[in-house]
Each structure stands twice: as structure tokens, then as C-alpha cells.
Amino acid sequence: MYVAKCKHGESFQEGSIVPYADFQISPCSAVLNYGQGLYEGLKAYRTEDGRIMLFRPDQNALRLQSGAHRLCMPYPSVDQFVSAVKQVVLANKKWVCIKLE
């Protein structure tokens, strides 16, 4: 799993792939108390020649930023988001399927 930290009032730090594990969340977290959360889906697929492709990850990053801004939440830069997605996809590349037409 990918973990990037962000302290109150600061930007996201560069994250990294870490082993899957439980993580701590504050009981004061807005996601627990108010349902404040944000989800953005993204598709990765393998071409016939074996390359792994992402479909417009920069656009996903911009949508995530827009939603986070409306919810008064911090958000990663487009580059941080795309880098995180690439790292997660590469770490899970054996699960990426060939795109079916």
C-alpha cells in the first residue's frame, strides 16, 4: 500500500510503498465524525505487447484536487498523485489485465 503523510497546514510529503498493514486514525478524524472523505477511481490496463498504461491519470489528479478543495481538505500535487499511482500499479503489476475491446 502507498502511504503519504500531510500535517495540518502543510503540503503532502513524498510517500512510499509499504507492506500492507493496519494503520492508526485519530478518533477526531473528520472522516469518522462527519463522513468527510474523497474517492477517485483510475484504470490501469496492459496492452497486447505487455506495456502497462494508465488512462489520463493527470485528469484524475485534477478531479481529486477539485473535490478536496471543495471539502477544505489538503491534496497532493498532480505529480505526487501520478507518481503514487504509478508506484502502486507497478507494485501490483501481476494483477493488471490486458484491455479487452
Give me the DSSP letters along 53-64: EES-HHHHHHHH
Q: With beta carbons less than 8 A apart as the criterion, state whether 13 and 2 touch.
A: no
And the C-alpha cell for 9?
Answer: 497546514
Tell me which fold the domain 2-95 belongs to.
D-amino Acid Aminotransferase; Chain A, domain 1 (3.30.470)
For the stretch 48-62, pLDDT in tens is 899 999 999 999 999
pTM for the structure as a whole: 0.86
And the C-alpha cell for 71?
Answer: 471539502
For the stretch 9-66, pLDDT in tens is 889 999 999 999 998 999 999 899 999 999 888 999 999 899 999 999 999 999 999 9
Secondary structure in 3-state letters for 23-41? CCCCCCCHHHHCCCCCCCC
101, pLDDT greater than 70 = no
DSSP code, position 72: T
DSSP code, position 101: -
Per-domain residue ranges for the chain?
Answer: 2-95
